[in-house]
Amino acid sequence: MTSDWPQVRLHVVTGKGGTGKSTVAASLALALASRGRQVLLCEVEGRQGVARMFDVDPLPYAETRIATGLRSGAAAPGSVYALHIDAEQALLEYLKMYYKLGPAGRALDRFGVVEFATTIAPGVRDVLLTGKLFEAVQRNTRNRGARQYDAVVLDAPPTGRITNFLNVSESVAGLAKVGPIKHQADTMMTLFRSPLTAVHLVTLLEEMPVQETADGIAALRAARLRVGGVVVNRVRPRDLPDEALSAARAGTLDTAAVAGGLTRAGIEPAAPLLDALLAEAGEYAERRVIEDEQRRLVTELDVPTYELDRIAGGVDLGALYLLAERLRGQGMA
């Protein structure tokens, strides 16, 4: 299946906390690499989540190769590199690139000026973090000596902060009306608002994450930032057919049939066990009703939607590859 986003070079992945946005970002990076692309996976929140997911050492402020995509047909798979973007290091790099302050920049760091600058002015911090992304995406035209990437995937801040994080021109408006920081912010916005960028949102089939996803989409569109797809994560399997779900919800499941099933499985159908199973079936049926309603609301968001199954036992590297294949099969990569 072909990709829904063939022109996109910067994939921004956001979502309400706890929805699994980091897992989706990592899976998307692997999916893109499985199409033969060279991919940079970035994180900006200081949690070293990428290192834990890929079972590698904590990432330095340097692009580090962490995985290879799955082979697809005759084409050789690409690689996934990872980068932990640190605002202080990004500022030193910025000073070196634009002001030729190599040793002087490090001296500022020793005196605590760098930490002061990135703490006292959050807008500047976001410009530095997103500036590194901008540099990685634009290397094919700006920095020919550095490693080239076909795609950059960002494990971004949560939905409630993503619009301010990307809308760097507004972030620095009160700090700098002119000058290099303002110019850099405006230049980056041309990328973030272009067809080269898409902001994907991750949700669960629960009321709060779906509502936050809808609010996030509205905020992104108001800021003229391009909305990508919505990834519905941790989808539960449909273990019961519709007729059985209706009976479970109504409390009219055939108790004798359930007991017979237990007996055939070699389990004694004691009354406490039967009662517990019937109660659990009723709760499961109620949960399915809620999930179906939330899925309907996700559909009404009118953006491409992808679903990832819930993986029992947690997500390891093998599970990331499975999720990557699922995303690729649905056309997200």
CATH number, domain with residue 123? 3.40.50.300
Task: Name which of 303, 231, 31, 51 is nearest 150 in CA terms.
Answer: 31
DSSP letter assigned to residue 332: -
Do residue 163 and residue 255 come from a single domain?
A: no
Q: Is residue 292 part of a domain?
A: no
pLDDT of residue 273: 94
pLDDT of residue 116: 47
Q: Is residue 84 part of a domain?
A: yes
Do residue 174 and residue 52 come from a single domain?
A: yes
| pTM of the entire predicted model | 0.86
Q: Which domain holds residue 271?
A: 242-286
Q: Is residue 1 part of a domain?
A: no
Do residue 314 and residue 247 come from a single domain?
A: no
- State the total domains in the chain: 2
Do residue 42 and residue 83 come from a single domain?
A: yes
Do residue 266 and residue 317 come from a single domain?
A: no
pLDDT of residue 38: 96
Q: Is residue 299 part of a domain?
A: no
The CA–CA distances, whole Å, from 95 to 88, 120, 126, 178, 183 equal 11, 18, 16, 17, 15
pLDDT averaged over 10-residue windows placed end to end, the chain, 333 residues: 92 96 98 95 89 91 92 83 84 60 49 49 73 83 73 96 88 59 81 96 97 98 97 90 89 91 92 92 91 96 96 90 96 95
Do residue 14 and residue 153 come from a single domain?
A: yes
Do residue 126 and residue 270 come from a single domain?
A: no
Do residue 222 and residue 165 come from a single domain?
A: yes
Do residue 231 and residue 247 come from a single domain?
A: no
Do residue 198 and residue 266 come from a single domain?
A: no
Given CA atoms 294, 300, 301, 306 in this order, what sign does their dihedral have? positive
Do residue 141 and residue 280 come from a single domain?
A: no
